[in-house]
Chain A
Amino acid sequence: MAQKPTISRTFIMGLWEENPVFRLLLGMCPTLAVTAAVKPALTMGLCVIFVMICSNIVVSLMRNLLKPHLRILMFTLTIATFVTIADLFLKAFVPVMSETLGPYVPLIIVNCIIICRAEACASKNGLVISVVDAIGMGVGFTATICVLAAIREILSTGNIFDIPVMFKSFVPWAAMAMPVGAFITLGLMLGLVNIITKEKEKNKNSHSCSVEGSE
């Protein structure tokens, strides 16, 4: 029988074990497109958190009324509504960021992470677990793209949040601000995460072996 998800476990899953970018490889479009600088990456992350929390709440509340063949349509309708609201909010209150992100805010509608969480979690669980799942996944996604953006911004401009952080003779790598920089950084980060995960598993196995041996 499947174990009932706990609140803390659900939250932590999104941060590392089921991190949407590094473990599930979802939401690759914004991950590659808006990580040239930290500010737009952070804005995108916050938008995704808002949309995911709202859509998970709505999907969770109507999960018992959903007809199986209409569920994807309902998810898309729900997500599109909250993405439109997020897009309007940026245009009204953070117009500079709205221009920087351009079409990538409306494109959150087709972000696989949100539809995946609606299908995998919110349509099967209660309100609290769905909200916690949205926060965990959203924070995991935001933290990941911010780390990628920080690496790219530092290497492509020598600055972070417009504050110079590199030594004076540093020559900015323009390629890091371009798509090639996004692919290289993401690839290296994925490799690093895989190495860390394997090392952790190895340590876990050797620890359990030594415990068994001592017994």
Chain B
Amino acid sequence: MLKVKHFIEQSWLLIVASFIFGLLVAVTYASWKPRIDQNEKDKLNNLMRFMITDANSFEIAVRDAEINTGKGKILKTNIYKALYTDGRTLGYAFVAVGSGFADKIKLVIATDIHCEKVFGFKVLASNETPGFGSKITEDFYTNQFKGAPATELIVSKTGDPEIIDDKIITISGATVSSEAVVKIFNTFIAQIKQKLEEQGLI
């Protein structure tokens, strides 16, 4: 009994403060959560709209599609359907994640309606080295994906980046980041295609 009394005497302030601070954080989180969720949704929609410019809206075609990212690791991602004003499907988009040079790279990839051609990709989140790895967002690199076949892409250090084919020319000084993006493509595209086929969408 004395021990309990001593414990309460010593720690009552910590216990009370923990409850008050916990409540404060919970209330703040609850009041700002809708706004945070909306921001994330808007960002994703903007990036998808940037790649499929004619799209009027996006809706989830396959929810929580399971993607095997290697070494038995399963990642869940939504596959979005880009819709024209008359309801026609224009293409598909999805979020793909993989390891980069410094941290995880999160991409939004868009393909055509048959998942045979890539419309392009946008970087949703990346902490690649500024001035080097961060160049994966630049036109020199991203333009190589616009119209590229949605099959296994090959990384090459030499070649003409203007030619659109399955060969992706790496960024000078950022080989690891360039290869990482291609690896993310190769991991996701085939499995996304398979998921769409399973659902009878292509």
Assembled-state Cα–Cα distance A93/B34 (Å) = 11
For residue A207, which residues in chain B have a CB less than 8 angstroms away from its CB?
none
Residue of B nearest to A103 (CB): B127
A84 an interface residue at 8 Å Cβ cutoff?
yes
A156 an interface residue at 8 Å Cβ cutoff?
yes
Assembled-state Cα–Cα distance A95/B41 (Å) = 12
Please tell me which stretch of B12-20, B83-91, B114-122, B156-164 contacts chain A, meaning at least 4 of its Cβ atoms lie within 8 angstroms of it.
Answer: B12-20
B130 an interface residue at 8 Å Cβ cutoff?
yes
For residue B40, which residues in chain A have a CB less than 8 angstroms away from its CB?
95
Residue of B nearest to A81 (CB): B21
Q: Closest CB of chain A to B117's CB: distance in Å?
A: 30
For residue A102, which residues in chain B have a CB less than 8 angstroms away from its CB?
127
Contact of A70 among B11, B24, B32 (CB under 8 A): B11
Assembled-state Cα–Cα distance A66/B13 (Å) = 8
Check if A67 sits within 8 Å of B13, measured CB to CB: yes
Assembled-state Cα–Cα distance A175/B130 (Å) = 9
For residue A177, which residues in chain B have a CB less than 8 angstroms away from its CB?
130-131
Please tell me which stretch of A8-16, A71-79, A108-116, A120-128 contacts chain B, meaning at least 4 of its Cβ atoms lie within 8 angstroms of it.
Answer: A71-79
Between A36, A77, A156, A175, the greatest number of chain B beta carbons within 10 A of the residue's beta carbon is seen for A77
Check if A99 sits within 8 Å of B21, measured CB to CB: no
A65 an interface residue at 8 Å Cβ cutoff?
yes
Check if A178 sits within 8 Å of B21, measured CB to CB: no
Check if B17 sits within 8 Å of A92, measured CB to CB: no
- For the complex with contacts A67-B13, A84-B25, A84-B28, 11 further pairs of A-B residues with Cβ separation under 8 Å are A36-B130, A62-B13, A66-B13, A70-B13, A78-B17, A81-B21, A81-B25, A85-B24, A88-B29, A91-B39, A92-B32
Between A70, A88, A89, the greatest number of chain B beta carbons within 10 A of the residue's beta carbon is seen for A88
Q: Closest CB of chain A to B45's CB: distance in Å?
A: 13
Check if B25 sits within 8 Å of A85, measured CB to CB: yes
User: In the complex, how many residues of chain A place their beta carbon closer than 8 angstroms to a beta carbon of chain B?
Assistant: 27
Check if B131 sits within 8 Å of A88, measured CB to CB: no
A174 an interface residue at 8 Å Cβ cutoff?
yes
Assembled-state Cα–Cα distance A62/B11 (Å) = 13
For residue A74, which residues in chain B have a CB less than 8 angstroms away from its CB?
13-14, 17
Residue of A nearest to B14 (CB): A70
Assembled-state Cα–Cα distance A77/B21 (Å) = 8
Q: A99-B125, A174-B131 are in contact. Are A89 and B14 (CB under 8 A)?
A: no
For residue B25, which residues in chain A have a CB less than 8 angstroms away from its CB?
81, 84-85
Taking CB atoms and an 8 Å cut-off, the chain A residues in 35-82 that contact chain B are: 36, 62, 65-67, 70, 73-74, 77-78, 80-81
Q: Closest CB of chain A to B37's CB: distance in Å?
A: 10
Q: Closest CB of chain B to A68's CB: distance in Å?
A: 11
Check if A174 sits within 8 Å of B125, measured CB to CB: no
Q: Closest CB of chain B to A83's CB: distance in Å?
A: 10
Contact of A91 among B18, B32, B125 (CB under 8 A): B32
Q: Closest CB of chain B to A28's CB: distance in Å?
A: 19
B154 an interface residue at 8 Å Cβ cutoff?
no
Check if B39 sits within 8 Å of A70, measured CB to CB: no
Instruction: List 4 tightest A-B contacts by C-beta distance, closest first.
Output: A174-B131, A81-B21, A92-B32, A92-B35
Q: Closest CB of chain A to B23's CB: distance in Å?
A: 10
Assembled-state Cα–Cα distance A84/B23 (Å) = 12
Assembled-state Cα–Cα distance A175/B173 (Å) = 12
Check if A156 sits within 8 Å of B29, measured CB to CB: no
For residue A66, which residues in chain B have a CB less than 8 angstroms away from its CB?
13
B199 an interface residue at 8 Å Cβ cutoff?
no
Contact of B13 among A65, A95, A156, A175 (CB under 8 A): A65
Check if A77 sits within 8 Å of B14, measured CB to CB: yes
